[in-house]
Amino acid sequence: MPTQTLRIGVLTGGGDCPGINAALRAVTKSLILKHDAEVLGFLDGFEGLVERNVEPLHYRDVSGILTQGGTILGASNRADPFNYHPRGGANVSAQVLKTVQNLGLDALVAIGGDGTMSIAHRLSELGIEVVGLPKTIDNDLVGTDRTFGFDTAVHIASAAIDRIHTTAQSHHRVMIVETMGCHAGWIALHAGLASGADVILLPELDYTVEEVARVCRERERVGQRFTIVAVAEGAKQKDGEHVVQERDDRRTDSLRLGGIGNVLADELREFVDSSVRTTVLGHMQRGGTPTAYDRNLATAFGTRAAALAATGRAGIMVGVQEGSFTTVPLADVAGHTRTVPMDAPLLASALDLGISLGVPNPDVKTNAEPVPPVPS
């Protein structure tokens, strides 16, 4: 009897980010070439899975998309099958299970961030064979040291802060640059350090306006008549609240943060003589051509996810830890956030360079260990 053709579904959940198309290309091509599989793409994330909005992905469909930003399948962060707002918040997961069965899917590859992995885990508990593929510019998924999209976002943010430097110097201003990062400050930390920010504010450390103002005044005193502040959108003042841009209960994460840069600017004007301006980078960090690093990482993740799905290994997410590729149970990823730890080497380097983290004496592990002498 002929062997039944392997059939794998793939979707991209949550927000878009650079490298998704590279991952789609890798998943699809490797499934077709290595496993002679049929690949079905669900449009607009889990919405396509609920509404059975699906189309076949052929080899030619994913050719020429390696460098393309966004996602050719579309994405959605408002289509949680367990709380499906187009149908009044109904749990339509049973319908999803039926769709998977009717389509004869052997497995589903879910490309996304924390919300997507949480949904993927719940679907796997229903018996759907799911393999997760980590993408998010925030780099905040547990179980992997890197997510694709992060490197590109850091490059975009760093380039923006580089340009802010020249206008800040020219006009002797305090320039605040707000990056993405609701719950984890990886982008602000990496971009701020790479582009020479004087203050870096993270969600992991509540800042004080007095400390930020102290840095600005001290730089003025010694003749450095400008200050660059990199702030993650999830940063907040000590004993304060997060700045919420809007609430949308249709989203997986209902609170959309943003606007901390403008709030900080208003606060600082009471403490410094320099004029203060804010630039919000926003969705610029998600768009455009992915870096070579992100293309390669997405490709490596994609081929590994395809192999796992094709060989019946599921309920897991691919990742990279300490330079080696690995797999992590979706149960260990769902509902968790990978924040910047206080022993992160880049935090210590920032302090060693005199960069303020918005806290007078942050509880950060420093690079205080003496360097061993060179043998004579």
Return the active site residues: 138
H, E, C per residue of 291-356: CHHHHHHHHHHHHHHHHHHHCCCCCEEEEEECCEEEEEEHHHHCCCCCCCCCCCHHHHHHHHCCCE
**For the stretch 122-160, what's the b/e string if a residue is b when 16 or more beta carbons lie within 10 angstroms of its beta carbon?**
bbbeeebbbbbbbbbbbbbbbbbebbbbbbbbbbbbbeb
C-alpha span between 120 and 45 (Å, rounded): 11
Supply φ then ψ for residue 351, to 5 degrees.
-65, -40
Cβ(358)–Cβ(211) under 8 Å?
yes
Nearest to 139 by CA among 332, 327, 319, 325: 319
